């Protein structure tokens, strides 16, 4: 029973444009937006997609990571724009933000995270290293 309650965090969200996150006080403003390919805010709650790792857009280790990170962000926005539902497994990540770990399920039943992996815009989590920079550090120049 508890698992069933934790599974459906939000009803299906209707189709609409999903903004890129900007500005502060996101929790107080109860915003819904995409931070990057694996992090979203849903009605003021910060969430991380389960079982995937998308390249960083902020704090990227190389230019390639930043570029693919932007592609992943835009693709996640595009996928979510046709409607979605959030499945929360009830766990939190280990970061200081303690983000809820969730799956974003699309109207056709696909997991948005798995779509990003299939399209080469994310990788399975846990992982080792930074495949986007091929082990390089710095700006990739």
Residue count of the chain: 141
The CA distances from residue 98 to 48, 57, 90, 94, in Å, are 9, 20, 11, 6
pTM of the model: 0.84
- Residue-wise pLDDT tens for the chain (141 aa)? 334 434 444 456 767 889 999 999 999 999 999 999 999 999 999 999 999 999 999 889 999 999 999 999 999 999 999 999 999 988 888 887 889 999 999 999 999 999 999 999 999 998 888 889 975 444 443
């Amino acid at each position: 029973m508890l698992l069933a309650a934790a599974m459906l965090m939000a009803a299906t969200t209707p189709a609409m444009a999903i903004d890129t996150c900007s500005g502060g006080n996101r929790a107080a403003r109860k915003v819904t937006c995409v931070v990057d390919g694996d992090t979203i805010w849903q009605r003021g709650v910060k969430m991380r997609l389960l079982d995937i790792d998308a390249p960083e857009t902020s704090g990227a280790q190389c230019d390639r990571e930043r570029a693919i990170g932007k592609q992943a962000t835009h693709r996640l926005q595009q996928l979510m724009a046709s409607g979605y539902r959030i499945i929360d497994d009830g766990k939190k990540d280990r970061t200081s933000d303690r983000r809820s770990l969730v799956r974003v399920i699309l109207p056709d039943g696909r997991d948005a995270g798995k779509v990003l992996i299939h399209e080469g815009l994310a990788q399975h989590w846990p992982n080792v290293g930074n495949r986007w920079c091929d082990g390089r550090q710095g700006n990739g120049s």
